[in-house]
Amino acid sequence: MISVIASILSGIITGLKTPFLSPILYLLKSRRSIFLLAFFAYCLALGLEFKILSVYSININFFVVVLPLILLLDTGLKGEVKSRLDYILIPFLFLGIVFKEIFVVGMSVAIIRNFMEDNPRKGAFAVIGCIAILVTGLALAKDVLSTLGAVSTQVVVIASITTLILVFVILKTKVEKLDLI
């Protein structure tokens, strides 16, 4: 439920209307294939409403929109992970209406907690490691990717790095079957 509250708050903070559709996604989480289709449509609608010129020109609003999106996807795929920490985080998320940075920190803690539920030792490392690899790759390629009209190339680089991380995680955990349906 914290994912829906966070998504709605991100809409209030940034002035976007699409995050107010997140309760519909939450209700669809019992049917994974329908949830994934609805989540894809939700991301497309969010992408049409929230404009970014370049990866290198993002501001705090980017994190206010994206972090609840990650938590919403995780909730839809794994189910609700209830914790006492959620009750502590909710007031901090509401404080994010005034101070966006507090919202981003609260969301980061919620995401790390969610990933730590599966494997406490590797959960935080996986989240922080993936973000570090992505940021390092973007930093190394900044000269090439920051030119005018290079947004499509930025998307390809981000997708490539993310795909490589996903392949590594799948091979590392020896997943025999991905049950997405």
DSSP 30-95: GSHHHHHHHHHHHHHHHHHHS--S-GGG--HHHHHHHHHHHHHHHHHHH-----HHHHHHHHHHHH
Residue 177 confidence (pLDDT) above 80: no
Rounded average pLDDT over 29-34: 85
DSSP 109-141: HHHHHHHHHH-HHHHHHHHHHHHHHHHHHHHHT
pLDDT reported for residue 12? 92
Q: Average model confidence (pLDDT) for the chain?
A: 80
pLDDT band at 20 (very low <50, low <70, confident <90, very high): very high
Residue 126 confidence (pLDDT) above 90: no
Whole-prediction pTM:
0.73
